[in-house]
Each structure stands twice: as structure tokens, then as C-alpha cells.
Amino acid sequence: MSPTVSVVVPIYNVEPYLRTCLESLAAQTLRDLDVVMVDDGSSDGSGAIAAAFAERDGRFRLVTRENGGLGAARNTGIAEAAGEYLAFVDSDDLLPPYALEYLAASLAETGSDLATGNVRRFDGHGVAPSPMHRKIFRTPEPRTHVTRDTGLLTDRLVTNKLWRRSFWDAQGMAFPEGVLHEDIVVALTGHFCAAAVDKLSHPVYLWRVRPDGDKSITQDRVAGQALEHRVRAVRAVGGFLAERGMDAQRLLWDRVVVGDDLRLFLQEMDAGDDGYRTRFLDLANAYLDDAVPGVLDDLPAIERLKWHLVRRRMVPELLEVLTFQKSREMAGAGVVRKGRHYYGRYPFLDDPAVGVPREVYRLREEVGLRQKVEAVRWEDGRLVVEGRAALRYLPPNRRWKQQVFAWLVNADTGRRLPLPTACVRRTAAGADGRSRDWGGFRVTVDPRRLTGKADGPGEWGVELWVLNRGHLRRAELGPPASGPAQRPGHREIGGGARVCPEWSESGGLVVRVERRCATVTRVGLDGAELVLAGEIAAAGAGAATSPARGPAS
């Protein structure tokens, strides 16, 4: 019979790391494995380590080949793999013990084409969440898709995934050979071609950060051909979308490329030499020439300024902006108001010698909502939430400048209930304790409003709206900015119902309404039996029941 999972492990001169990688595979709770180790012409002791594993564990097989690079080694392993599912593990990384069982169980339950999970980075000092994966995998979602969950556009690794082999073969998938960043093309085309994808929130992959002096290809952007290969990879995905007429997805992809991929290399312009700077300007401008129109419009003002200078190939001015952004000057930069709009006080604003249009500096989403819950408590049967909320750059130092509104939103029906909300004077954010403004708020939730026949049991989120000088921002009411979230406990509200305030997985405040089905009024022993007696709620009233009995142990 075919094994459940085949794991392809490409190996090339990883002697210091290989043993622990293979040990993490041998320790998987899913035992039905086929581990295909591909020695891609290693010149160190990696081949001997792999051979030793194959000798003592029949689930491990070693294939040797001449050096051809990561993509070629993976393709060799795929040709040898026989499992129902396919996984890839780089030979300097690790898997948590439950990873493959967790991924395979999800695919078996949902029938999706691939499952993808959270990632942690690790080094000699410990383990931490991967910044590029933290937000994507905050909330699990079975049978989703990149066209609905656009955060998956930045889910670029193939190693945090389990692929259904029949899907892989049906799509004719293979790794590009002789290039870097081959994961990008495979991961993204897989996401788009899949009928459904399972997104799992627990970590399934431990991605090593190599120490200085032993950098992996993902840690070195300026030297070598990393820039060229990254641009080639992202252009391949854009071409894939263009061929299929997926114009809306192409615009989303171009925005991700500009905001993430190309930005990584743009930020290194001050570290690169003249050759690197010229290559970047050539490749970035060529990409933008072919990108969907408007790709730069939604970027923050400081990013629009940098790309404006890239388009004009103004290197000295661009380097000055990068220095400004990376220094304390950026944090202390003020704003300039012209009419109803605000503009960042960034380099070359209204400088006729440089001639950057003022619209480039206009602040949009940068004028964002900042909020902090400071207290959650019950008062006279009502839930009271107090905190601070303000828009960046727009301090509410006068009462008329800011208004705050709050709503309860039913998670199932979308029904909205306005909440009594008041603006109060509070110590200003970052102040010395003496400065006060009108950034404080007090929201009151009367749980009796949630027990009507139209509502019943369910969850209600709390949404906060802040209107300041014509700028409206909204967000779910989140937990404290620091310290543990307060849990004020539940309250019985009559009619066999209770209200439970709590914090959701995404961090928002949720008010959950529950109906009491039964109440235990007596617990005792009758010989060797445990006896529970109580009442079962029926049609809104309590009904006495006979005692329930069971073994005491």
C-alpha cells in the first residue's frame, strides 16, 4: 500500500543541521511516512548522515544526484515519492512532532487540495512567530481560497503545506530549476489552481534563521542575483494570472509585489553599490511599466514618495528619503494641513527644485485609528468599557473635534444595535500625566437588549467608530495595548439566559449570549454511584427531573 505522506528533503552541504531535521521527521506522530532524501551533490558529510538514517529506518530513502540546485533536487524527489500527500522540508529546518498528522487530518476531513499552516522562526536564542505569517494564520479557515482570503497572497513557502498528490499531478506542477525563490511560483499557482485550501493556525513548520557568516539565500538581498530571481518569480505569477484573465487578482498581486517583494530590495538601496542601484531601477521600472494601472495609488505617502523617485531615477533624493525613513526623523515628522487634507512633512515637500507633486505626500490610511481598552467591568447590571481612541496626527484637544460611536454587531445575522457612548477627558497618549484631551471613551452594554425573541443565543462583536474633522475610521474594539485582557465574568440576566464578555481569537471584544439548558442543584454519592439532580429548562421555565446516576469512578 502507498504511504500516507511522502516528504521530499533536498540536501546540499547542510552537515551541521541535517541530523536534527531528519530526527524531527522520524518523531512525527503520523508514522506512515515515506521520506525521500535527495543528496544534490553534497561535498561535506551530509550524504553519510542521510545514508545512516536510511539504514536504520525503513521509511527513509536516499537518492543521490549531481548538483542541480534546490528546484531540481525537489523535482527528483517528487518523481520518487509514492504517498497520497506530498510535503517538502528544507534540510536545515524542523517540523513540530504533530505537523504532518495535523495537516493530513484536515485534508482528510475537508477534501481540500492543499493545507497550509503557521510558521515559526528559530535560532540559537529561541523560537518566535514568523512576521510574514503571523497575521495570515491568526484565524483558521477550512476550505478557503486566495481569491476570498487575499492575505494568502503572501503565503509563499511550499514547506508549510501538505499537497494532495492527485491535485499536484493534475496541475502538472513542478519547480523551476536553476533559479532562486522557486517557492513563490509553486505556492501561488497552487493557491490559485486549488478548488479549496485549508488554513490552519497552529505552527506546522520551524524555519531556521542561520547565524551571521552562514546566510541562507533569503537573508542576503544585495549580493548575487537574488533581485533578478525574485523579480523573475513574481513576474511569472503575474503572467499566470494575466493568461487566465484574472484582472482583479492581478491588481492585488501587483500591489503585494510592490508593497512586499520589491520594497524589500528598495529598502537596501542605501546598502547596495552603484551596480545594485542600477539593476534595481531597471528591473523595478520594467515591472511597473507592465503592472496594472493604479498599483501605487493605495500605498502610504512615504512609500509613494520613494516610488515617485524610483520612476524618475532620482537616486540621491531617494537615498535621502531612505535615510529619513530609517531615522528618528520619520517618527517625529509632522503634518501640513491644506484645506481638508493632511500631508506628510517629508523631504522635498513643496520643494520646486525637486518638483514632487504635493498629492504624493497626501496622508490617507496613515490617519489611522489608535485605540486602547483600559477597563472592562460590570456596573449595576451593565457592562462598561472604558479606554482611549484617537486618529493619528489628529489629537482631539477640543470637545468638538472628535465623536465616538459604538455598535453591537451580531456575528450570524449582521444585525446592529447602537450603544450609549460618551467622550470623556483622559490623559493624552504619550503625555506626562498632566496633559488631557477628549480621546477617552465610555461604552455601555445593557445585556437585557440581547435577550429578545429576535436575537436568542449568539455572539455580538463591539465595533468602534471615530469621526474626527471629517475623517471616519472604524474597527472592532480590541484588547488592552499591553497587559492581560480583563475578563469581568458572566452575568445571569433572567429567563434562563446569561451574558459572557470575552476576547475572540482575533483579539476583539465579544459579548456572548447563552441559554441555560439545565441547572445542577445537588451532587452526591449513593453507594458507588455519583448522583446529579437538577432542573432542565423547558419553554423558558424550569422543570424538575429525576436524578441522573453513573459510576463514581
Answer positive or negative: Cα dihedral of 7, 13, 17, 23.
positive
Q: Is 101 exposed, middle or buried (0-12, 13-18, 19+ CB in 10 A)?
A: middle
Q: What's at 26, amino acid-wise?
A: A
3-state secondary structure 155-179: CCCCCCEEEEHHHHHHCCCCCCCCC
**Among the residues of 396-444, which ranges form H helices?**
none
Residue 233 is predicted with a pLDDT of 92
Residue 543 is predicted with a pLDDT of 45
The yes-or-no verdict on residue 191 having pLDDT over 60 is yes
Residue 537 is predicted with a pLDDT of 62
* Residue in the block written with cell 525574485: 230
pLDDT (average), residues 350-369: 93
Residue 214 is predicted with a pLDDT of 46
Per DSSP, 258 falls in state I
Closest CA to 323 of 335, 334, 315, 312: 315
Q: What is the pTM assigned to this prediction?
A: 0.76
pLDDT tens per residue across span 198-225: 999 999 999 998 775 444 444 466 666 7
The CA–CA distances, whole Å, from 233 to 156, 182, 185, 217, 413 equal 11, 7, 6, 14, 42
The yes-or-no verdict on residue 374 having pLDDT over 90 is no
Residue 531 is predicted with a pLDDT of 87
Per DSSP, 60 falls in state E
Residues paired with 144 in a beta bridge: 197
Domains, the chain: 5-217 (3.90.550.10), 225-361 (no CATH), 369-514 (2.60.40), 518-551 (no CATH)
Higher pLDDT, 330 or 403: 403
Joined grid coordinates for residue 30: 503520523
The yes-or-no verdict on residue 63 having pLDDT over 80 is yes
Higher pLDDT, 213 or 365: 365
Average pLDDT, the chain: 88
The yes-or-no verdict on residue 483 having pLDDT over 90 is no
Separation of alpha carbons 488 and 485, rounded Å: 10
Separation of alpha carbons 405 and 416, rounded Å: 12
- Report phi then psi at 424, rounded to 5: -130, 155
The yes-or-no verdict on residue 434 having pLDDT over 80 is no
pLDDT (average), residues 183-191: 94
Residue 538 is predicted with a pLDDT of 52
Q: Using 50, 70 and 90 to split pLDDT, how confident is the model at 372?
A: confident
285-290: long-range pairs with CB below 8 Å, 24+ = 285/310, 285/311, 285/313, 287/231, 287/234, 287/235, 287/257, 287/262, 288/258, 290/235, 290/238
Separation of alpha carbons 529 and 547, rounded Å: 11
Spatial contact of 373 and 432, defined as CB atoms under 8 Å apart: no
The yes-or-no verdict on residue 274 having pLDDT over 70 is yes
**Among the residues of 111-172, which ranges form H helices?**
131-134, 165-170
Residue 224 is predicted with a pLDDT of 63
Residue 217 is predicted with a pLDDT of 41
Spatial contact of 387 and 328, defined as CB atoms under 8 Å apart: no
pLDDT (average), residues 340-350: 93
pLDDT tens per residue across span 52-61: 999 999 999 9
The yes-or-no verdict on residue 456 having pLDDT over 70 is no
The yes-or-no verdict on residue 540 having pLDDT over 60 is no
Residue 60 is predicted with a pLDDT of 97
End-to-end C-alpha distance for the chain, whole angstroms = 43
3-state secondary structure of 468: strand
Higher pLDDT, 178 or 515: 178
Q: Using 50, 70 and 90 to split pLDDT, how confident is the model at 484?
A: low
The CA–CA distances, whole Å, from 278 to 261, 282, 283, 453 equal 17, 6, 9, 68
